[in-house]
Structure 1
């Protein structure tokens, strides 16, 4: 019996080696044949996203190198130790995915493609055990001491586990706080539920009250339309103004219960009406010119305007009860080129937290402010365009004109519960150009601190692309062409929302 034992040892060692060769060659070739897809899928990993560009080729090279080492008797033991190290690393990676990941990604090529994550965890554990058996038998042939074999087996496993955990922690920090423009697309963060054809492509979101979405219309500015959140009924009301004798150029509507507001900053005039009534009265006339406006309450507003002194864009506050009514904050919007085009962006209000946001159009930055326009946080999006790429020429009459089309970074936004939904205009690393031709990309960010939360696609409706966003506790509504569409958020999105209960309680005590 003792004479036959070395033969069985040899068979087991060769069998383990050949199985590893088969697995590694198959996996490496599969990844290599579809390398771009493998790298894209690895970039979606919630553990290793930040290192996809390095890890993708490194894994393939290491698998092929280990397969080669296992072919030769002189390097087989080293190859088995390396195989054990790599298999332990894969096992720890899958364990972290299943237990500590924000989401479980799709498979990423090779044999993983044929198995689920749990099944592959079992597969890896079995192969790691097979490597240990082969290592022990091979070390016994060399008469190695048992304690040496144990140490040489335990140390690689600890090193592999530590390396994967370290990469995970480092990658999470980089992706969420110091992103180098790698997006993560979770599994089904939104679900397409329903759509309604509005009959025109000129609508925009004006607000929401008691389950009714209010829509303004750029081509019919005195028509206010309501649609229920189930997208089953649509009603329109024609607004009557107490004074129509102004040279209107761009009337817009906004709803903040219990009132609706119509305004045109080129006049400048602001009207206010009671919801349920069609008559709107003038509450502000010639107090200040503005290009954007957000309602704070029935008598106070924040706006964006052009400073008469510096000719740059500024943010300001209009309070009809104060004297003076208008107060400007000329330090919030930072000039990079001309102070006009380079500071272009969108002024938003979070109805849950009552914070204000200003999202720059041509740079990767957004500001978070309180209702008094005090700067709370200066945060950035994950692209790398920190300086507005605009070319501006000054005209003889003092006006400015763009010399070339600018690089648009951010297109349209919505904010809800300290989560910013930002439609990006720039393609990130490891992303498919074909998908970009068929869909818009919406990135999610916390507004309470610097953190990127993930991204999702909103697919085009034929030739119609996303034009406006509106977010609620459970849904995101999208205007695309003449349609309004409703998507339901997955729990992976809604868990990031902050409720307004604590703030409302605190306000009730004051």
Structure 2
């Protein structure tokens, strides 16, 4: 019943339409992977790095032109005991091991794969690596979501005061996705449950607030407190407005969970709607669909330059963007 109700909410009329020009994203090639538990860890030129949720110290190096796969093993100190929330990132020739539950980030050189430098942080749920190896982290303060910047050398941090705005509980209602704009000083924070996103600079000063094209201005979530533990939890299935997000130098790409009024139910159920916004001002540009591949749904995607990489279960598909 919960599945049916959530499916109805996502497919019901939402009072917006999408611009769907043809031939916006053209398929190039795909690779078959040996696991469905991969996630995007980074990118360098013609190489994509994938992390493996079932092997926390492994990175798969993918040559997207030659369609070659190479498994790399991260060498960590013996004292390091990772939790299941660990995430690997590759950025600017460095490899980062992010452990939000244990409040630490380990880093090292991608050439020898040794993570030896430790950065102590507050607990965090997501992180961005900036070009100077500073960190933008999503954390909590007094039970509400907050963004802050931490310098990797001095350990000093700056809180982005007023960036995240409470609607319901301050924790779940501010949940979202952090995105870095390559080769700029801009970042985005896209809320999961409402039609809003934030553009800020890397010092966490607000540049502008933007809106997605749908009409869900208030997060449709219900929360409850567990009496035995005192923890706050979601008491009903949330309506995902914005699922995954990514950006290149010009555009912000958002995987929307909602059907537009000019789309059929089959269109929405057999593909992933990607809405595109200008980085400069947040204005809507166009949309396109990434269709299901071999019966598999899109699980995540990234845009690097004019190439879009999509994960479908154990497939990695590459698209060429024509705009």
Shared fold per TM-score greater than 0.5? yes
Matched residue, 2:160: 329
Q: How far apart are residue 329 of structure 1 and its match?
A: 2.3
Pick one of 199, 202, 222 that aligns with 1:391. 222
Q: Of 328, 351, 373, which residue of structure 1 is paired with 2:204?
A: 373
1:222-243 CA distance string (max 9 Å, x none): 1111112325111111001124
Equivalent residues in 2 for 1:208-223 (5 A)? 208-223=43-58
Q: Could you list the per-position Cα deviations for residues 307-341 of structure 1 after superposition, in whole angstroms to 9, with x for gaps in the alignment? A: 1xx2111111111333x623322411100000011
Name stretches of at least 5 consecutive residues in structure 2 with no aligned partner. 1-13
Listed as ranges, the matches of 1:98-497 within 5 Å are 181-230=16-65, 232-246=67-81, 248-285=83-120, 287-307=121-141, 310-322=142-154, 325-396=156-227, 397-490=229-322, 493=323
TM-score by length of 2: 0.91
The 1:202–1:354 alpha-carbon spacing in structure 2 relative to 1, beyond 3 Å, is farther
Distance (Å, rounded) in 2 between the aligned partners of 1:194 and 1:369 = 35
Q: Is the 8 A contact 1:420 1:447 kept in 2?
A: yes
User: Higher helix fraction: Structure 1 or Structure 2?
Assistant: 1
* Shift, 1:260, TM fit: 1.1
Aligned ranges for residues 10-29 of structure 1 at < 5 Å? none
Q: Cα–Cα, structure 1 residues 475 and 297, in superposed 2: closer, same or farther, change >3 Å?
A: closer
1:256-293 Cα shifts (integer Å, max 9, x gaps): 112111111101221111122121113213x3111111
Q: Summarize the Cα distance change of 1:243–1:331 in structure 2 as closer, same or farther, 3 Å threshold.
A: farther
Tell me, in whole angstroms, the C-alpha distance in 2 between the residues paired with 1:249 and 1:411: 22
Q: Is the 8 A contact 1:422 1:444 kept in 2?
A: yes
Runs of 4+ in 1 over 4 A off after TM superposition: none
Q: With CA pairs under 8 Å and 6+ residues apart, which has the higher RCO, 1 or 2?
A: 2
Number of aligned residue pairs: give it. 309
Displacement of 1:250 after TM fit?
1.2
Deviations 1:39-93 (A, max 9, x none): xxxxxxxxxxxxxxxxxxxxxxxxxxxxxxxxxxxxxxxxxxxxxxxxxxxxxxx
- Deviation of 1:203 after TM superposition, in Å, equals 0.9
> Whole-Å Cα distance in 2 between the matches of residues 430 and 267 of structure 1?
46
Q: Residue 299 of structure 1: CA displacement?
A: 4.2
CA distance in 2, matches of 1:249, 1:485: 27
| CA positional deviation for 1:362 | 0.1
CA distance in structure 2 between the partners assigned to 1:250 and 1:426 by the alignment:
28
Q: For each residue in 1:359-407, what CA deviation from the matched residue of structure 2 results, as whole angstroms up to 9, or x when unmatched?
A: 1000001111111111111001000000000011133444211111111
Structure (1 or 2) with the larger CA radius of gyration: 1
SS of the residue aligned with 2:147?
strand
2 CA distance for matches of 1:474 and 1:299? Answer: 25
Deviation at 1:251, TM superposition (A): 1.1
Distance in 2 of aligned mates of 1:291 and 1:244: 23
Per-residue CA deviation, residues 392-449 of structure 1 (Å, 9 max, x unaligned), is 1133444211111111101111101131111100001121111222111111111211
Separation in 2, partners of 1:184, 1:489: 16
What is the rounded CA distance, in whole Å, between the counterparts of 1:392 and 1:459 in structure 2?
33
Normalised TM-score (structure 1): 0.59
What's the CA shift for 1:188? 0.8
Give the drift of 1:298.
Answer: 4.9
CA distance in 2, matches of 1:348, 1:459: 23
> More strand per residue: 1 or 2?
2
